[in-house]
Chains A and B, each alone.
Chain A
Amino acid sequence: MSEISTSPGALTAPASPSVATSKSAVISPSAATIQKIQRERKLYAAVYAVLLIGTVLTVAMYYVHFDAVWQMVAVALLIAATKAAFVVAVFMHLWHGQRDIYRIMFFTSIFVAALLGFLTYSLFSLPGSGHYLR
């Protein structure tokens, strides 16, 4: 029985895990890291500012007159969604491409949307409901 084992390296497979053996007791960031982190900090400060403004706008909206309730709902949710987008993208580091997490959250949002959509929709088929938005 002739048996020639090719080396694993010949295959396209992820390299075996490189476990860091030397446990350095301190983090000493490289110049590139420092630069990156400093940029990151500016970004965080900017997002913080956006969130503050968003909150002020949300409250201010309450004192503005809208013709219909659904308009007010739309504006409020738009502001909230914008704030949320900034938090997710920057604070939660989704900005830096993370393919697997995108996939998971993509499907999750489809399912939430389905839930929200059908719950709402199923109510409109009942008589007398939905006056709130009018």
Chain B
Amino acid sequence: MKIPYTTEIREDTGLYNGKVGMWLFLASEVMLFGALFSAYVLLRIGAREGEWPHGLLNIPIGAFNTLVLITSSMTVAMSWTALKMGNFSLYRKLQVVTLACAVLFLGVKAWEYSEKFHHYEIWLNEPLTAQEYPQLAGHSTDLNAPITSIIGHIDDAGSFATLASLQEQGKSTVEIHPDEFHYRLSAREQGQRRKAERAAGGAAATSHAQAGIPIDVSNIARLSAFVPKHSTFFAMYFTLTGLHALHVLGGVLAFAYILWPASKMWRQDPERYTNSIEVTGLFWHFVDLVWIFAFPVLYLL
């Protein structure tokens, strides 16, 4: 039994089944990610002053990943034209590039995640000021303003530590190396400060070299790595990018399957093979599209 229009095009719609099916799936995906972005907007606008961390993501890395994904989209589109021309070896080369890009994207993402997991924010019971600790200058533009939370690395805390886990280890103080210069201030403020410091003749401080500030564990109100629990911002960041990464993974599996195990179809039914690349390509471009929106929304705004 053969189902009609799996390969050939139905006259009155101008489409074959797989394409209609994929577009319908994409329509549902648009609703899925549309809902997530809408949720993001609602939570972002609804957040109270000071509750939404900003600038905690690594912009150059994000931009790099954008380029990687865009490139893979282009190679997918090109590989389809290669098949259309009957040029299988060109197709294969392009798809290997696609897969390499996709894997690179996932690798970078994983690295970014792990990077987040050992950055910490400490909320204090008794605020500090930059007057006392010059390392905190990047946390506030006013040197006398009370600083209620500090962002940075904690020595030998590893990843995922919490206040409870520190207490369990019997620690009474922790040492935090403020990392705010990368994070707390906006890029523009950072630039201005660097300029000012250079004008004043000093070398611009680099964050990781900051001397540690000892903090009494009893003075910690809350402590969290940059994990979903840290804040609604990170919750959204991990949910959105995690779901997106799953989609990338799905695309990788599909392309790899078509490229290797299923490639004998090229000899039996080349039209159908070409279609499968077009259809999977549609999915891939959509995944790219989601990232095109996710990057500025999460990293920049």
**Are chains A and B touching directly in their complex (CB below 8 angstroms)?**
yes
Tell me whether A15 and B11 are in contact in the complex, defined as CB-CB below 8 angstroms, given that A25-B267, A73-B301, A80-B293 are known contacts. yes
CB B88 to nearest CB in A, in angstroms, measures 9
CB B176 to nearest CB in A, in angstroms, measures 27
The prevalent SS among residues of A at the interface is helix
B268 near A100: Cβ-Cβ < 8 Å: no
Tell me the residues in window 261-301 of chain B with beta carbons closer than 8 Å to chain A beta carbons. Answer: 267-271, 274, 278, 281-282, 285-286, 288-289, 292-293, 295-297, 300-301
Interface size counted on chain A using CB atoms at 8 A: 71
B38 near A108: Cβ-Cβ < 8 Å: no
Residues of B within 8 A of A101 (CB): 15, 19-20, 23
Q: How many A-B residue pairs have CB under 8 A?
A: 179
A44 near B8: Cβ-Cβ < 8 Å: no
CB A79 to nearest CB in B, in angstroms, measures 7
A119 near B39: Cβ-Cβ < 8 Å: yes
| B12: Cβ under 8 A from any A Cβ | yes
CB B291 to nearest CB in A, in angstroms, measures 10
Residues of A within 8 A of B48 (CB): 128-129, 131
| B7: Cβ under 8 A from any A Cβ | yes
Nearest neighbor of A118 in chain B, beta-carbon distance = B38
Tell me the residues in window 11-37 of chain A with beta carbons closer than 8 Å to chain B beta carbons. Answer: 14-15, 17-20, 23-29, 33-34, 37
Residues of B within 8 A of A126 (CB): 46
Q: How far is the CA of A80 from the CA of B38 in the complex (A)?
A: 16
B270 near A59: Cβ-Cβ < 8 Å: no
> Contact string, B1-32, partner A, CB cutoff 8 A, digits 1/0?
01011011011111100011001100100110
CB B105 to nearest CB in A, in angstroms, measures 14
A116 near B86: Cβ-Cβ < 8 Å: no
- Give which listed residue, A37, A87, A115, contacts B73 with CB less than 8 A: A87
Q: Would you list 7 pairs from A and B whose C-beta atoms are within 8 A, ordered by A residue?
A: A20-B7, A25-B267, A37-B85, A54-B292, A58-B295, A92-B285, A131-B48
Further pairs besides A15-B11, A92-B285, A105-B30: 15, Cβ < 8 Å: A19-B8, A27-B86, A28-B86, A52-B67, A79-B296, A87-B73, A91-B281, A99-B13, A104-B23, A112-B30, A115-B31, A116-B34, A119-B39, A123-B42, A129-B47
